[in-house]
Amino acid sequence: MANIQTSASAREMGDTKKFKLFATIVGGLFSLIALIPIILIVIASFTDEKTLLANGYSFFPQKWSIDAYTYMAQQWSTIGRAYMISTVVTLIGTVVSVLITTMIAYPMSRKNFRYRNILSFFVFFTMLFNGGVVPSYMMWTQIFNIKNTIWALILPNYLCGAFNIFLVRNYYTGSIPDALIESAQIDGASELTIFFKIILPLAIPTVATISLFTALVYWNDWVNALYYIQKPQYYGIQNLLIRIMNNIQYLKSGAASVAVGTGSVDLPGTAVRMSMAVIGILPIVIIYPFVQKYFVKGVVVGAVKG
């Protein structure tokens, strides 16, 4: 009996080792596939423009260059502006979104709130049915007149959504005891005080999660501007990238009007585009290691039940 068990566990150990090796290799391969396109555009952004045009994109360029980045530094008025807009929109959008999301979720978590179920259904129904793009576009442009304003980048679609509301609601009901609220009420605290002084501080982990989700949505959004912005001065970094991909001439004409006669005939084209994509993802890559755990947590919790 003892013999059988030891041989079984020995086999089990060999088995586990083999499977771990397999997982290491295949997992490594998948990770490589995930990273390679990102690596390629980073390398392309550091490739000499002529080399790029002659040999194409390559992981091992013959000639490296930082021209694209120096060029971008010279053109910072255009790129910096877009960067600024993306930053401001992301900040405002995220702060406002987190505030109204955590607020509407609070009454939904209170068992003794009379309209709790009605409110929950009101929020939930937005997940089941939507009016579609055309009515929404007509409302924002014909009634609220947000076309070509900064509001067009913040207001439509992303400010407060059912998914995040339920995420926060579930966090409240799961980790904030009713007794805490009751005792605060006995002490004479108003609902607003309870929310801002007790509930919100306790909900920091979920606030971190939805802040992250929302900030990513705003930073990566290009759809709102596609619909509502025609003036390039309101473009954030994503829409500047689209515009440049459509027409590299844009930067060149900008350069022509700013610095006439500098003799810069061979403007870096492709490498510049790639370097701009790189600075577009730079903030994400920088904060990613610090926020990954909130992201993973949010995905797991969100998937469990909406």
Partner 1 sequence: MEKKKSKVKVKYAKSGPLLLIAAPGILYLLINNYIPMFGIFLAFKNFSYKKGIFGSEWSGFDNFQFLFRTKDALIMTRNTILYNLAFIILGIVFAIFIAILLNALGDSLRTKFYQSAMLLPNLMSWVVIAYMVYAFLNADSGFINNSVIKAFGGKSVAWYMESKFWPFILTFVYLWKNMGYQSIIYLASIAGIDKSIYEAASLDGATKVQQIFRVTLPMLKPTVIIMTLMAVGRIFFSDFGLFYQVPMNSGALYSVTQTIDTYVYRGLMELNDVGMSAAAGLFQSVLGFIVVVSANALVRKVDSDNALF
Residues 23-62 that bind partner 1 (CB under 8 A): 23-24, 26-28, 30-35, 37-38, 40-41, 44, 52-53, 55-59
Residues 201-230 that bind partner 1 (CB under 8 A): 216, 219-223, 226-227
**Nearest distance from C-beta of residue 257 to partner 1, angstroms:** 25
Query: 236, 153 in Cβ contact below 8 A?
Result: yes
The interface region with partner 1, picked from 61-69, 248-256, 260-268, 286-294 by CB under 8 A, is: 286-294
- Between CA 25 and CA 18 the distance in angstroms is 11
User: How far is 185 from 179, CA to CA, in rounded Å?
Assistant: 10
CA distance 276 to 268: 12
Distance of CA 261 to the CA centre of its chain: 41
Q: Supply the minimum distance, in Å, between the C-beta of residue 258 and partner 1.
A: 25
Residue 260 or residue 303: which is nearer to partner 1 going by CB? 303
Contact by Cβ (8 Å): 294, 302: no
- Residue whose CB is less far from partner 1, 28 or 80: 28
Site for partner 1 in 287-306 (CB under 8 A): 288-289, 292, 295-296, 299-300, 303, 305-306
CB of 260 to partner 1, least distance (A): 29
Q: Which of the stretches 69-77, 132-140, 203-211, 253-261 binds partner 1 when contact is defined by CB under 8 A?
A: 132-140
* Coil, strand or helix at 148: coil
CB closer to partner 1 out of 29 and 258: 29
Nearest distance from residue 78's CB to partner 1, in Å? 17
Quickly list H helices, 46-189. 49-55, 67-74, 76-109, 116-128, 133-138, 151-154, 162-175, 178-186
E strands in 14-75: none
**Part of the chain binding partner 1 (CB under 8 A), chosen from 74-82, 97-105, 248-256, 260-268:** 97-105
Rank residues 73 and 242 by Cβ distance to partner 1 and give the closer one: 242
Angle at 208 between CA 207 and CA 214, to 5 degrees: 85
Nearer to partner 1, 129 or 201 (CB): 129
Beta strands in 66-110 (DSSP E): none
Question: Which C-beta is closer to partner 1: that of 111 or that of 265?
Answer: 111
Stretch that binds partner 1, among 6-14, 65-73, 169-177, 201-209 (CB under 8 A): 6-14
Q: Name the amino acid, one letter, at 118.
A: I
Q: How many residues does the chain have?
A: 306
List 62, 117, 122, 262, residue binding partner 1 (CB under 8 A): 122
x/- map, 153-192, partner 1, by CB under 8 A: --xxx-xx----x------------------------xxx
DSSP 8-state class, residue 232: G
Considering only 69-77, 103-111, 145-153, 252-260, which stretch makes contact with partner 1 by CB under 8 A?
103-111
Structure tokens at 134: 């055309």
Q: Report helix, strand or coil for 269.
A: coil
d(CA 244, CA 232): 11
CB of 97 to partner 1, least distance (A): 9
Residue 129, SS3 per DSSP: coil
